[in-house]
């Protein structure tokens, strides 16, 4: 994996799979895309996604509420919406803490 930027890309993940497992770059990229598609479809259908040892992608429904424009102080309605949050596993937290 290249360290050229602060962002890990799908292509870099596919490259890591290619090196570790020995399958082609094209097949590796197809696998990564299939995993991401499955995760997206599950969340679109209202399911949370849990990856053991990595973390959980949680969907939360937020109620409609009245907010304020911080610049003017004017009230503005904020509509109800669904938001996606990520909660890392303890193992991932520990791994990140070791990297500091």
Mean pLDDT by 10 residues, the chain (100 residues): 74 95 95 97 96 96 94 94 96 90
Assigned domain for 96 exists: yes
Write down the pLDDT at residue 57. 98
Write down the pLDDT at residue 99. 81
Write down the pLDDT at residue 3. 53
DSSP H helices in the chain: 10-21, 25-44, 90-98
Write down the pLDDT at residue 4. 56
Q: Residue 29: which domain range?
A: 8-46
Write down the pLDDT at residue 5. 74
Write down the pLDDT at residue 70. 92
Tally of domains within the chain:
2
Do 57 and 86 have their domain in common? yes
CB of 3 within 8 A of CB of 16?
no
Assigned domain for 1 exists: no
Tokens of 34: 């299939």
Within 8 A by CB and 6+ apart from 77, the residues are 64, 65, 66, 67
């Amino acid at each position: 994996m290249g360290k050229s930027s602060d962002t890990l890309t799908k292509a870099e993940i596919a490259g890591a799979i290619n090196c570790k497992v020995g399958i082609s770059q094209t097949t590796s990229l197809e696998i990564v895309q299939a995993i991401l598609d499955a995760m997206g479809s599950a969340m679109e259908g209202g399911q949370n996604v849990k990856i053991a040892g990595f973390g959980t992608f949680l969907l939360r429904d937020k109620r409609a509420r009245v907010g304020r424009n911080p610049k003017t102080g004017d009230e503005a309605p904020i509509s109800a919406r669904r938001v996606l949050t990520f909660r890392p596993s303890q193992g991932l937290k520990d791994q990140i803490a070791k990297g500091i």
